[in-house]
């Protein structure tokens, strides 16, 4: 947990969030998971917490662009760290990546594609887009071999 301490404070300060022990603890949970996590996962990782404080922290993190929500069809809402360049001042999730769900371990990952498609729809202005993909993650593919 100590190795994340300086980075935790940097993320929170860069997003103009007050650094508190609880916010640092919640942020550490995100930093220790390479995949998206549910609120239940966060609750299970916390030793002692107030549910209202947790939900306020999640809301602050989402509003400030520290984390973003992922809703895959047929799955519960998950949360993942935003890229460092994501700027939520406009109210939009502003970095392009794909939400990939592994069919074996069922984890959801935010992955950067080599090429992100530019979609144009006549008569519409796209401000934000989400692309979801399913398959087998590298970890599960390695285990299968």
SS3 57: helix
Lowest mean pLDDT among 23-32, 35-44, 84-93, 100-109: 84-93
Is the pLDDT at 15 greater than 50? The verdict is yes
Residue range 10-28: average pLDDT?
92
Output the known binding site. 102, 105, 137, 140
The span from the CA of 137 to the CA of 78, in Å, is: 17
Kindly report, residue by residue over 39-96, the tens digit of the pLDDT: 999 999 998 999 999 999 999 999 998 999 998 888 889 999 987 555 555 545 556 7
Count the domains in the chain. 1
SS3 37: strand
The secondary structure of 70-135 as a DSSP string is: E--TTS--EEEEPPTT--GGGSS--S--EEEEETTT--EEEE--SSPPP---TT-------EEEEE
Lowest mean pLDDT among 4-8, 50-54, 103-107, 132-136: 4-8
Output the known binding site for Zn(2+). 102, 105, 137, 140
Domain carrying residue 140: 2-144
User: Smallest Cα–Cα separation from 61: which of 34, 33, 93, 99?
Assistant: 93
> CATH code at 54?
1.10.10.10
């Amino acid at each position: 947990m100590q190795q994340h301490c300086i980075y935790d404070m940097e993320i929170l300060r860069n997003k103009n969030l007050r650094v508190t022990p609880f916010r640092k603890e919640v942020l550490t949970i995100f930093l220790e998971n390479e995949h998206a996590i549910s609120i239940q996962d966060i609750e299970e990782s916390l030793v002692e917490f107030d549910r209202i404080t947790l939900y306020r922290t999640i809301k602050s993190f989402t509003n400030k662009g520290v984390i973003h929500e992922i809703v895959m069809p047929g799955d519960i809402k998950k949360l993942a760290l935003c890229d460092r360049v994501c700027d939520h001042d406009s109210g939009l999730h502003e970095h392009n990546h794909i939400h990939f769900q592994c069919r074996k371990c069922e984890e959801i990952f935010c992955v950067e594609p080599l090429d992100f498609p530019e979609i144009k729809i006549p008569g519409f202005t796209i401000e934000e887009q989400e692309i979801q993909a399913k398959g087998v993650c590298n970890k599960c593919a390695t285990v299968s071999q």
